[in-house]
Structure 1
Amino acid sequence: MTIKAENTLLSNRWDAARADGMSESDRLVYRSNLLGSDKRVTNYGGGNTSAKITETDPLTGQSCEVLWVKGSGGDLGSIERAGFSTLYMDKLEALKGLYRGAEHEDEMVSYLPHCTFNLNPRAASIDTPLHAYVPRRHVDHVHPDAIIAIAASAGSEAITQEIFGGEIGWLPWKRPGYELGLWLEDFCLRNPEAKGVILESHGLFTWADTALDCYALTIETINRAITWFDARTAGKPAFGGAIHTALAPEARAAVASELMPAIRGMVSGAQHMVGHFDDQPAVLDFVNAADMPALAALGTSCPDHFLRTKICPLVVDFDPAAPDVAALLDGLDASVATYRENYAAYYERCKRDTSPAMRDPNAVVYLVPGVGMITFAKDKATARISGEFYVNAINVMRGASAVSEYRGLPEQEAFDIEYWLLEEAKLQRMPKPKPLAGRVALVTGAAGGIGSATAERFLREGACVVLADIAQDALEETRAALAARHSADVVRAVTLDVTDEAAVDAAFATAAREFGGVDLLVSNAGIASSAPIEDTSLELWNRNMSILSTGYFLVSRAAFKLMKVQSIGGAVVFVASKNGLAASPNASAYCTAKASEIHLARCLALEGAPEGIRVNVVNPDAVLRGSRIWSGEWLDQRASTYKTDKDGLEEMYRQRSLLKRSVLPEDIAEATYFLVSEASAKSTGNIINVDAGNVQSFTR
């Protein structure tokens, strides 16, 4: 494993024809989106940009200078105009008269709302003074891997001077805030020819008097750093050289699928966590290297990295040359417990009188030699982004350790950022989690009307969903539609024949690898058939039993195995049928198989209760709209049985019901959601009929 010199330079993607017709604020948005679109420049939510723009004061009608700066919590890659705070520059200058010194700098944040221009509701971030006091019209602050590799190196000031001369300066570590804003102003006044500055252990500031010049300078500065590193690291072994060989991709995936549910169960005490697996080349280079344990223990350097990855990762004790997953799982609990103890000791060493209470002591990042990296967080997007930030940290460690000595943040500085009262206040302002936040659902028959409506309902309530169906084209169409509405992070699809034992096990392994496990199973795959008993072939009988009975057994067995590994409970819902309780003419195979489902659910409710796994049943009737079952032979057969036509069948079913109402897929989804939610936490072994009323299917 060596560091290769490659053509990794950033491209200047500024489109003059597009930008020239924009307003100054729109050019700021454009510039920000360009910078945020490349993770080598800055990752999700990281960095900030600004412009000082002449505006008309709505109170006086006079011209005034206004700072437009990325607001708190924004993301450069996706930010729009509404994501920027706007503040009067003269009021920001006036704040200097209120400043009482570094020990009181946090109180300055409370003054920022008083500087708001035009009643803008976007909250200003802690980085606002860093942009306000740089005496240039445009400022970029980003966290490129190549720059942080300089900033996190021993001797970073000398390296900065070697690469950039006096064009880009250097400032020692200082936590972001008002004092650092004054430091930047002082640097600019003392170094009027400087075009930017590298902040030790942090990142890059660049500035210019036009949006284009500022953007071009940022790209050029990063490229100079990349070129310098490429020239000095080509052919050198990375991280001390490899001591492990990565497993084959299929084997890596298999280990992750076994490991992630076990970790998830251990770290989901306070709230359910969602996992993410990454085995890209950069990750494998790191986890297989001789210096990985020592470098990992140093932690990340850039505050944006650290806040999302914690003080340090947990290095899993695994030998890919003798891959004993059972032994790994046996020792995992002790490793996780040790990490918690070490984190609690770190908290006790570093806490201050005003520190918030200790937060979740579990690791975010798990490094597995030969396999890859696993991250866990409160939702999928956060888990994925935490992994992306750790990849940034890996790239930083690669560069810094190759040309110098990598340095993480000092422990107390790291703690003071993690438990910063301003960060705590931001956490307290976060919206309340949705009811199914952190839950992972697997829905069979997901491309049909009931399945897709159920997935939609779960996603709306914050769950991650694995869609499973045998109809590949319809499944992909459903996945794409749900991902467009709820984000690609939270939706996965697996083509699944529920009668195929190996395919069922593979589907749950996919769920484990993609999200960390499964909490909710909706067994909904189905067919329907209609024939008098004398016309019911053995093949038809077996097909009903295979899909509607054996298929439900196979997916339930796989779910139980996974849920027991997690040991955090779960909920299973069978979508059966009114026909499982009430006999229908010319449907003996279907009715018998549905009755089998219901009794299987009763048996599983008994077995699942000691493990906190609830099993319940929803019985629909005559759900015609959006159903693939009702679009084929079954529709013709039932219409024939009741001596009506296709158009009259839904009306016949409506009039047959006690309530005289049609039953829709969304109605079944609502009942299913109730049975997996906390609202039914004390219910198991139950049946909910959603059939608009049918006396023959009353359960009592």
Structure 2
Amino acid sequence: MTSPVEALLRRSHALGADPRNTNYAGGNTSAKGTAADPVTGSETELMWVKGSGGDLGTLSEAGLAVLRLDRLRALAGVYPGVEREDEMVAAFDHCAFGRGGAAPSIDTAMHGLVDAAHVDHLHPDAGIAIATAADGPELTRRIFGDRVVWVPWRRPGFQLGLDIAAVKAGNPRAIGCILGGHGITAWGDTSAACEAGSLEIIRTAEAYIAEHGRPDPFGAVLPGREPLPGPARHARAAALLPLVRGLASTDAPQVGHYTDTPEVLDFLARAEHPRLAALGTSCPDHFLRTKVRPLVLDLPADAPLEAVTARLRELHAAYRADYAAYYERYATPESPPMRGADPAIVLVPGVGMFSFGRDKQTARVAGEFYVNAINVMRGAEALSSYAPIEESEKFRIEYWELEEAKLRRMPAPRPLAARVALVTGGGSGIGAATARRLAAEGACVVVADRDAAAAEKVAAGIGAKAHRTGDAAIAVEMDVTSEEQVAAAVRQAVLAFGGVDLVVNNAGLSLSRSLLETTAADWDLQHDVMARGSFLVSRETARVMIDQAMGGDIVYISSKNAVFAGPDNLAYGAAKADQAHQVRLLAAELGGHGIRVNGVNPDGVVRGSGIFASGWGANRAAVYGVEEERLGEFYAQRTLLKREVLPEHVAAAVFALTGGDLGRTTGLHVPVDSGVAAAFLR
């Protein structure tokens, strides 16, 4: 026999797997049943409900709050009224069964007070379209008859739970309700009946909008707002994103996400988009992530870039002033401080949408939520007119103490949070170790390598623990000797994460030749990869960093050979010396932009090294008269510490230079060589 928890998880996964039913991390589901009290042994009525912040599609038993139903329902007897309903959230702790599982969400009362074994609360686009239509109550009656009841807008909380419980009791034929401005709630005696009720409400709303809605709810296409062709659109997005990301990071660093799906481009091409965007989103789940309204560019898609950037700066200043005024209009002495006045959503007609957040997942989800909002506006305008909840109500939720408490429960950001790192030669050895370390410290990582398969493998490994692989790392194919490939890879980084903040010039190779054996081709190849390649990568990424105006880090993986003279090593040592001096030159040039440039000088890193595996190790072993498999040990024994240098040690030095503790250091070379006295810096 299926347990209530098993049925609940199966239903949650089925509903959460389809974005038509609810948005990521939105909505909640519950089931009621009995379990033995471990103290008394008696059967106890319990409720399992999705906890705060979880996602239906990936919900596990650990993500459920578990409460005693008798105690939860008894709270109605001590309810102090709507003016003090927030006090009831703390009371949920006294209803916990055992340790109670996950933290209960604000919607817990709704699930507990409604007299049904199973309850779903969801945020489907079609349902919210009805909920935000100006004549939503009449539409609800027309579409659903007495099977679905309209509930006027009320902020989520204990009183809303009482309201919905009364609707359920007073409408025995009803399978659920439309929550004004918000979403839907459905119920059932079994998990299957509850799921069927949710889907009936959603699919019926979708079908009604499709059959009865106007074909052009957003109006006619505006001249000059049509989508640019794909390549031109992406080129314009890559040109604008660093500037916009910098503006959106005025109060706190943000990661960016770019969306140019058909529904976004069509919305921005239509005459009504400025009016609708100004009204803002309605569902609390939407505007908590997108802010009350987006920043919208009011120039044609093909306007000169200089004019667009100037206008974006003006609009950003106006947005910040408007947001501060919004805060002042509604803030009370008890309100939390203003969290930041920068936009989370920036709309550029003809190009698409830029969304921002503290990390890639947050930025991506913000964009997904605004797509939900566009779908909601389309449905509401198709049937009626879009009428979101009042701005004052949005403020009450955005600056709700319960939302503030949720933010306080979030873990402290990691040292490299909201930073975007590009690592060349990231498919193996030092580059792979560095990419992994930077990601572990919170950075979004672009793994660049001429070996695309190797880069993909490293990026996939980094992304394995993320919600989506691309939230943590992406792979780009890049030969650092090619200007075109370097520029294209940097554009990919910008389109993926909004910009670049931290660059590791690690790509390299070596050929062990004496002077007389070194050909001009040998010399050119090594200088092309390390000296010229580092220059090209630094130049392209510095352009992005300057546009962002957020500072940045460029780190060169040079070598002890930049200062140490060894035999049969002319081309490699000279190229490394070139890199070492680039560090000093760029530190002097870029310091005014807040960009720090430093270097790391490793000794020979044998294990995991692509260079040593490609024949360099065998050649160096022959030069020194040792077996190749003992080369790492040979290098270690000539050092002061007698310890072999591994890729992870170099990666640690990169993090030390970029993690924040050395924020006033630039132009420095850090030896990671276990102590080679001949390579001491002078």
TM-score range, shorter chain: over 0.9
**2: CA distance between counterparts of 1:373 and 1:166?**
40
1:346 to 317, 326, 329: 326
**1: CA distance between counterparts of 2:665 and 2:188?**
64
When residues 90 and 500 of structure 1 are mapped into structure 2, their CA distance, relative to the original with a 3 A threshold, is same
**2: CA distance between counterparts of 1:670 and 1:353?**
46
CA displacement, residues 5-34 of structure 1 (integer Å, 9 cap, x when unaligned): xxxxxxxxxxxxxxxx53221111111111
1:249 to 230, 239, 242: 230
What amino acid is the match of 1:603?
L
2:118 to 123, 138, 145: 138
Q: CA deviation at 1:109?
A: 0.7
Q: CA deviation at 1:226?
A: 1.0
1:589 to 560, 568, 571: 571
**Mapped pair 1:571 → 2:553:** yes
Look up the match of 1:678: 660
Q: CA deviation at 1:233?
A: 2.8
1:537 to 519, 529, 532: 519
**1: CA distance between counterparts of 2:495 and 2:457?**
23
Unaligned runs of at least 5 residues, structure 1: 1-20
Normalized against structure 2, the TM-score is what?
0.98
Look up the match of 1:202: 182
**2: CA distance between counterparts of 1:172 and 1:663?**
67
Look up the match of 1:502: 484
**1: CA distance between counterparts of 2:413 and 2:254?**
12
CA displacement, residues 234-269 of structure 1 (integer Å, 9 cap, x when unaligned): 7x1230122131101111111111111101112223
**1: CA distance between counterparts of 2:248 and 2:220?**
32
CA displacement, residues 31-67 of structure 1 (integer Å, 9 cap, x when unaligned): 1111111111111110000001111112211011101
Look up the match of 1:64: 44
Contact kept? 1:571, 1:676, Cα under 8 Å: yes
**2: CA distance between counterparts of 1:122 and 1:277?**
33
Counterparts of 1:451-470 in structure 2, within 5 Å, are 451-470=431-450
| Runs (4+) off by over 2 Å | none
Contact kept? 1:271, 1:438, Cα under 8 Å: no
SS in 2 for 1:117: strand
What amino acid is the match of 2:535?
F
Look up the match of 1:605: 587
2:87 to 82, 102, 107: 107
Q: CA deviation at 1:449?
A: 1.1
Q: CA deviation at 1:120?
A: 2.1
**1: CA distance between counterparts of 2:333 and 2:665?**
45
When residues 68 and 485 of structure 1 are mapped into structure 2, their CA distance, relative to the original with a 3 A threshold, is closer
Look up the match of 1:580: 562
1:237 to 206, 213, 216: 216
Contact kept? 2:119, 2:186, Cα under 8 Å: yes
**Mapped pair 1:153 → 2:153:** no
**Mapped pair 1:437 → 2:417:** yes
Contact kept? 1:71, 1:122, Cα under 8 Å: yes
**Mapped pair 1:637 → 2:619:** yes
Contact kept? 1:317, 1:328, Cα under 8 Å: no
Look up the match of 2:157: 177
Look up the match of 2:353: 373
**1: CA distance between counterparts of 2:677 and 2:99?**
61
CA displacement, residues 261-296 of structure 1 (integer Å, 9 cap, x when unaligned): 101112223321110000000101111110000000
What amino acid is the match of 2:348?
V
Contact kept? 1:315, 1:366, Cα under 8 Å: yes
**1: CA distance between counterparts of 2:619 and 2:273?**
65
Q: CA deviation at 1:155?
A: 0.9
CA displacement, residues 566-622 of structure 1 (integer Å, 9 cap, x when unaligned): 111111110011111101100100000000000111111111211111111101111
1:290 to 251, 267, 271: 271
Contact kept? 2:280, 2:388, Cα under 8 Å: yes
What amino acid is the match of 1:241?
A
Q: CA deviation at 1:645?
A: 2.1
Look up the match of 2:258: 277
**1: CA distance between counterparts of 2:333 and 2:615?**
72
SS in 2 for 1:239: coil
**RMSD of aligned C-alpha atoms?**
1.1
Q: Quick one: percent identity of the two aligned structures?
A: 48
Look up the match of 2:385: 405
Counterparts of 1:446-525 in structure 2, within 5 Å, are 446-486=426-466, 487-488=468-469, 489-525=471-507
Contact kept? 2:132, 2:388, Cα under 8 Å: yes
1:304 to 258, 263, 285: 285
Q: CA deviation at 1:323?
A: 3.1
**2: CA distance between counterparts of 1:571 and 1:317?**
34
Unaligned runs of at least 5 residues, structure 2: none
Contact kept? 2:601, 2:671, Cα under 8 Å: yes
**1: CA distance between counterparts of 2:295 and 2:635?**
59
SS in 1 for 2:661: helix
**1: CA distance between counterparts of 2:638 and 2:334?**
67
**2: CA distance between counterparts of 1:490 and 1:254?**
23
SS in 2 for 1:212: helix
CA displacement, residues 490-541 of structure 1 (integer Å, 9 cap, x when unaligned): 2111100111112111211221111111110000000011111111000001
**Mapped pair 1:224 → 2:220:** no
Look up the match of 1:11: none
Look up the match of 2:537: 555
**Mapped pair 1:261 → 2:242:** yes
**Mapped pair 1:315 → 2:291:** no
CA displacement, residues 207-245 of structure 1 (integer Å, 9 cap, x when unaligned): 1111111112211221111111111137x1230122131
Q: CA deviation at 1:422?
A: 0.8
Moved more, 620-629 or 645-654: 645-654
Look up the match of 2:15: 35
**1: CA distance between counterparts of 2:457 and 2:129?**
43
What amino acid is the match of 1:364?
A
Contact kept? 2:4, 2:32, Cα under 8 Å: no
**1: CA distance between counterparts of 2:632 and 2:458?**
25
**1: CA distance between counterparts of 2:35 and 2:253?**
47
SS in 2 for 1:170: strand
What amino acid is the match of 1:610?
G
**2: CA distance between counterparts of 1:189 and 1:338?**
49
Contact kept? 2:456, 2:474, Cα under 8 Å: no
**2: CA distance between counterparts of 1:433 and 1:403?**
44
Counterparts of 1:648-663 in structure 2, within 5 Å, are 648-663=630-645
**2: CA distance between counterparts of 1:591 and 1:560?**
26
**2: CA distance between counterparts of 1:614 and 1:352?**
43
Q: CA deviation at 1:146?
A: 0.7
SS in 2 for 1:434: coil
**Mapped pair 1:669 → 2:651:** yes
Look up the match of 1:384: 364
Moved more, 484-493 or 29-38: 484-493
**1: CA distance between counterparts of 2:416 and 2:454?**
26
Q: CA deviation at 1:97?
A: 1.6
1:46 to 1, 26, 30: 26
CA displacement, residues 623-667 of structure 1 (integer Å, 9 cap, x when unaligned): 111111111221221111112221222221121122111110000
SS in 2 for 1:435: coil
